[in-house]
Amino acid sequence: MLVVKKFGGTSVGNKDRIFNVARRCIEDYKKGNQVVVVLSAMGDTTDDLLAKAEEINPKAPKREVDMLLACGEQTSVALMAMAMAKLGVPAVSLNAFQVAMHTTSAYGNARFKRIDTDRIMSELELNKIVIVTGFQGVNKYDDITTLGRGGSDTTAVALAAALHADACEIYTDVDGVYTCDPRIVPEARKLKEISYDEMLEMATLGAKVLHNRSVELAKKYNVPLVVRSSLTDAEGTLVKEEAKVEGMLISGVAVDKDVARIALIGLKNEPGIAFKVFDCLAKHNINVDVILQSIGRDNTKDISFTVALTDVDEALDVLKKEQNHLTFQKIEEETDVAKLSVVGAGMQTNAGVAAGMFEALYNVGVNIRMISTSEIRITVLIDKNDVDVATRAVHDKFIGD
C-alpha cells in the first residue's frame, strides 16, 4: 500500500512531537507500506516569518515573501528525516524543487499544475520514507511559490492523486471534522463522515481544518481523505463523495473572522458596471464572496462585497486606481465583520433553515448585515464582536441536543 500522511504545524511543533510523528510513520513503514510524509512548518513558524517580512517591508514583493515562507516547511522536513535516521530508518527529505511540483505563477496563491512522481517513486523503491515540504511549489520561472495559508493539505492531496496512493491521511491537532470549530463551540460533535461538497463549503467558509483547495482536488480525483489526530488513536472523519447523513439537517456551522467588507457607493446605474468592478478584482486574483447590490440616490447604485482580510489593502488600491472607469463616488471598508454560515446537504429538501438561523440570531440580539445562500449553505455577515455568541446560538439551534 502507498500511503500519504500529512502532519500540520502543531503536530511537528517541537522535538517530542517530531519524534512522535516519526514513530507513527515508521509504524506504517514497518507494516510493509510505502510512506510519503507531507509536513507543514513547525508551530507558529509561518506567522513568525511573515512578521519578520512585515518589519523589513510591509509591502514586500510577493516573490520574496514566498521565498521566505518556504523555509518553514524545509526546516520541518530536514529535521524529520534526521529524526527517522536516528530511529534507524532510511528517509529522505525533498522540497518542491527536488520533487518538481509545478504550479501557476501566482505568488502566495499558486495552484498545482503538474507533479513529477519519478523522484519520489525512485526513493520509495530504495525503501526510504519520503518526506516532502507542504505548502510550496515551483512556477515556470523556476521560482518558489506558496499555495495560500493552510496549503499543506493541498500538497498532500495533490501528491496522493499523482501517486495513485491508496490512502491520504491528514493528521492535525483535533481528532476529526466537527460540526463547528471546537474552540468556539466546545459541545460541537465529531462527524464520522462528511461529503466533499459539504466539506468544501465548510472549508471555504472558514473551517480551516482542511484547506479548501485540498477538498476540491480530493473531489476531482476521488481521493478519500481521513482527518484525524496526530496525538491520539481516535477514529477520525472520512471525507468522501457521499456521506451518510446522521439524521441532521445541517452538517456544520463555519466561522470566518478574516474577512473585510468593501462598499462602492454611487456607481452609475447602467449595464456593465458590476462586470467592470469584479473583473478588475479577478485580474488581481482577489476572490470576492458575499455580494450585495442596492439602489442608491439619484439613479445610482451601491455594491458591497466581502474579501479576505489579507486582500483588503490590495483590493482598495486597485479599485481606487480605476475610480473613474468604475464610476463610484465613494469607497468604504470595514474590517470588524465576520462571516457565519450553516452548511448541509439536508437543507436542499428542507424549507425553514434560513428562518431557523435568523431566529437564532434574533434571540441573541445579533444584527445581520448581509446574506448569501447556495443550495447547501446560508451565510450571514455580522459584527466580529458578536461572532462567538452568534455561533453558539446557531449551533445550538440546529445541532444542540
What is the contact surface with ligand ASP in residues (CB under 6 A)? Answer: 8-9, 40-41, 46, 72, 134-135, 149-152
Residue 135 interacts with, from Mg ion, ligand ASP, ligand ADP, none (CB under 5-8 Å by kind): ligand ASP
Q: Is the CB of 326 or the CB of 343 nearer to ligand ADP?
A: 343
CB of 200 to ligand ASP, least distance (A): 17
Nearest by Cα to 397 from 179, 125, 141, 84: 179
State the minimum distance, in angstroms, from the CB of residue 401 to ligand ADP: 18
> In whole angstroms, how close is the CB of 135 to ligand ASP at the nearest point?
4
Report, in Å, the least distance between residue 132 CB and ligand ASP.
Answer: 13
Grid look-up 470566518 returns 256
Provide φ and ψ at 77, rounded to 5°: -70, -35
Beta bridge partners of 292: 304
Q: Which three cell numbers stand for residue 155?
A: 500538497
Partner interacting with residue 149 (select from ligand ASP, ligand ADP, Mg ion, none; CB below 5-8 Å by kind):
ligand ASP
Residue 160, by phi and psi: left (phi above 0), alpha (psi -120 to 50) or beta?
alpha
Q: How far is the CB of 45 from ligand ASP (least distance, A)?
A: 7
Q: How far apart are CA 266 and CA 328, in angstroms?
A: 5
* Nearest to ligand ASP of 71, 368 (CB atom): 71
**What residues have CB less than 8 Å from 340, skipping those under 6 apart?**
253, 254, 255, 379, 380, 382, 387, 390, 391, 394
Nearest residue (CB) to Mg ion, 8 versus 13:
8
DSSP 129-144: EEEEESSEEE-TTS-E
Q: Which does 346 bind (CB under 5 to 8 A by kind): Mg ion, ligand ASP, ligand ADP, none?
A: none
| Choice between 67 and 207, CB closer to ligand ADP | 207
Specify the amino acid at residue 78: A
* Closest CB to ligand ADP among residues 36, 156: 156
Q: How far is CA 358 from the centre of its chain?
A: 27
Nearer to ligand ADP, 108 or 252 (CB): 252
For residue 197, the minimal CB distance to ligand ASP (Å) is 22
Pull the grid cell for residue 178. 466537527
What letter represents residue 226's amino acid? V
Rounded Cα–Cα distance for residues 385 and 74 (Å): 38
Tell me which residues touch Mg ion (CB under 5 A).
8, 150
Out of ligand ASP, Mg ion, ligand ADP, none, which partner does residue 134 contact, by CB within 5 to 8 A per kind? Answer: ligand ASP
Shortest distance (Å) from residue 134 CB to ligand ASP: 5
Residue 231 vs 274, nearer CB to ligand ADP: 231
Helix locations, 89-180, DSSP H: 96-99, 118-125, 152-162
Which of ligand ADP, ligand ASP, Mg ion, none does residue 10 bind (CB under 5 to 8 Å by kind)?
Answer: ligand ADP
Give me 365's grid cell. Answer: 440580539
Under the rule (CB under 6 A), what is the footprint of ligand ADP?
A: 8-11, 40, 150, 172-174, 177-178, 180-183, 207-209, 252
Q: Are residues 361 and 385 in contact, defined by beta-carbon separation less than 8 angstroms?
A: no
Quick one: which of 374, 2, 359, 381 has its CA closest to 166?
2
If the CB atoms of residues 62 and 257 are measured against ligand ADP, the closer one turns out to be 257
